[in-house]
Every structure is written in C-alpha cells, then in structure tokens.
Amino acid sequence: MSLVLLCVAPTRQSHCSPAGRLATVRQRIPILLLTALRGAALFIAAFTVIGMVGELRGRTDDMSLWWIDLYDLPTGERFVLLGTVSLLLGVWALRPIAQPRRRWPTAAVAALAAVLALRDIGTFYTAVSAGDVRPFMPVPLSAVVAAVLGAIAVVVAAGSARKPAADLKGDLVQLAAATAAVALSFPLAQMLFFGTTDYRRPADAAVIFGAQVYPSGIPSQTLADRIATGVDLYRHGLVPVLIMSGGDGKEGFNEARVMRDVAVAAGVDPVAIIVDPAGVTTEATVANVAALLGLRPGSPTRLIAVSQAYHLPRVQLAFAVTGIDVLTVPAVDPQFIGPMPVMIAREVAAFWTYDLRVCLGW
C-alpha cells in the first residue's frame, strides 16, 4: 500500500514517473560507459561522413555497409538518413548536455539505426540457414552495432550528468581517447566477424593473394595455407580457374610463380592457372585481376578472394572501390602462425591508410 502511495503522490520527481525513471537511469550511468558511448557515436559520425565524401567524389561505393546495410533505400534517402545520424550523434558526442528539442530527436535517430541493425541480424541468419555463408562467430557484427546504438539511444534519452566547466579539457581528452580506441577496434572487429566468415560458392575464378617465400623457395606457412585453400576450391569444383598473384620477393623468388608450381604439384591443371607476377600489393593485385579478366564495374563475373582473415576486409574494400564485388574465403590455418599478431597490427594501420586515401585523397 505504501508503495502505491509513493507512486501516486504528487512529488516533484517521483521515481515512478517517466521523469523519475529517467533520473534514476541517469544517476546509474557510469562516466566510463558514457565516455565509451560518446566515443562510439563520434566514430560512427566521422566514419560515415568520410565514406559519404568518398562516395560523392566517385572514389567508392556505400562505405556505411561496414556498419549498417541500407540496401533498400535510394541513394538520396540513404544520404539524408546517414547525414542525420552523423550530425546528431556527432553533436551529442561533443555536447552530451542537450535540451529536449535536441535530445529526443537524437535518441530517436539512434533507436532507428539500432532497429535497422537488428534487421541486418535477420538477414545474416537467413543467409546462414540457406548455406550462403559459414561464419566463425555465432553472431554478426550487426548485433554489436545494434547493442551500441541501442545503448546510445537509452543514454541520450536519459540525459547525462554535466561536467564542471573547468574539466572541459580533460573531458575532450577522454573523448578523443575513447574515439581512438573504437577506431582501432573497428578493423579488428571486421577481421573477427567478416574476415573469418566463409562465403564460398560456385564462381568463375578464385584470386589467391601472395605472401612471403622463404630463401629455400618454400612458401611461408601463410602462403601455403592460402594455396591449399585455393586448391581445395578447385578440387571441389567451385572454381575452374585459380589466379595466383604475387610479386618478386627479396629472397629472389616470384611469389606467383612459386604458388603456381605448388598448385600444379597438388594436382591442379596448369591450364587452369593464371599467373599475375606483378601483384606486389593488394591494390596492384585487384587492378591486375580486373585487367586480366576484362572486368568492368557491374560485370557478371563472380570472383572469390582467398587470404588470411585479417587481410580480407581490406581485400573486400579494394575490390569494392573498383566496383567489383567478391566473395571472400579465409585461408584455413591448421596451425598457429607466429608472426600473426604483428601482421594483424600492420593490417589495422593499412586498413585506415587505404580508407582515408581512397575517400579523402590523402
């Protein structure tokens, strides 16, 4: 009875009223969580704007696909939605104290984006059920995105505690650190969720990316795994052609030619192998493959790209920039590769270097 009286009593801020419940949520939001969500919001805003600039410059397609799929929206409507999300989330990240006229639209937009990310989860499981993808992770990255956006929506709606003006510099430093942490984590998340997912299905050719060859002429473990995965695709009749792409190594061997010899020794018909001896970089391989096959943006030719999981997000990005969509298949690594942590760290830097260079022309 006393609880009921408390809920109906005409107090200024009852815990049972909507305002009281928001106040309770606000009081329970740890500063660390608030800063982390602001960093995520600022990252989403910046990443989306950079991608939109790249698209307007004609250098890339929809970069927002890396965090949300708006496949059913016309370009104009998609730009309006992404621009609104970026603007409101970016402003909230920098100025989390907001009046209702800004707070509620921001919360609504974050909630809408979370719902769209939830839709992507349904698409993912439909593809898994159909056998179109073979994920390593049991949940898609969209689940993480939806959770983050949902948390932002709740926190924005609840409001946040005002920091003392004297602490403004410290607040900005913390926000910058949180945003940088999200930026470093983003390529890692792409490697873990997207890179490890196997999209193999019948295709016209498989592109095998080169890697180090030892001074003895033997492929490194990384390269051997890539070759073995490509040979497996060929043996199972998924591709009639293997494209071996690599450059001249400092050890004196051309990676692509070594790859061809290993594949032939494994039973692949030499006629079914195309050698690209000038694939010195990821971008060079993509350009050379497009030229070799006479590909044009929108070409019906279906390609499979084979490399390690940490490399595949950038491979996908490089092909997408040329307007060519590929199916990615991670190389099967039967044993741990010692230099892998270093390779992953280098790939994080390479991902952002390539993204910024393509979108902004840096």
Q: What is the pLDDT of residues 246-269, one digit of tens each?
A: 999 888 899 999 999 999 999 999
For the chain, residues classed under CATH 3.40.50.620 are 205-360
Q: Return d(Cα 76, Cα 272) in angstroms, integer.
A: 44
Domain 205-360 has CATH 3.40.50.620: yes
Taking the C-alpha atoms of residue 311 and residue 205, their distance in angstroms, rounded to an integer, is: 19
Count Cβ atoms below 10 Å from residue 279 Cβ, excluding itself. 27
Weakest mean pLDDT among 6-10, 46-50, 161-165: 6-10
Report the percentage of the chain scoring pLDDT > 70.
88
Average pLDDT over residues 46-56: 95
253: which residues sit within 8 A by CB, 6+ positions away? 213, 217
In whole angstroms, give the CA distance from residue 230 to residue 332: 10
| 7 within 8 A of 14, measured Cβ to Cβ | yes
**Residue 11: predicted pLDDT:** 41
Ramachandran sector of residue 260 (left: φ over 0; alpha: ψ -120 to 50; beta: rest): alpha
pLDDT score, position 112: 97
Instruction: Let me know if 181 is exposed, middle or buried by CB neighbors in 10 A (0-12, 13-18, 19+).
Output: middle
Q: What is the mean pLDDT of residues 153-181?
A: 80
Give CA–CA dist 116/142, Å, rounded: 9
pLDDT bracket for residue 4 (50, 70, 90): very low
Convert the pLDDT of each residue in 134-149 to its tens digit.
999 999 999 999 999 9
- Residue 324 is predicted with a pLDDT of 84
232-248 burial code (b ≥16 CB/10 A, e <16) = bbbeeebbebbbbbbbe
Query: Where do we find the tokens 């009046």?
Result: 99
CA–CA dist 301, 51 (Å, integer): 26
Whether 22 shows a pLDDT value over 50: the answer reads no
Inter-residue contact 45 to 64 (CB < 8 Å):
no
Which pLDDT band holds residue 325 (cuts at 50, 70, 90)? confident
Give the pLDDT confidence score for residue 298 in this predicted structure: 63
Exposed e or buried b for every residue in 258-268, given b needs 16+ CB within 10 A? bbbbbbeeeeb
Query: Sorting pLDDT into bands at 50, 70 and 90, what band is 14?
Result: very low
* Confidence band, pLDDT 50/70/90 cuts, at residue 17: low
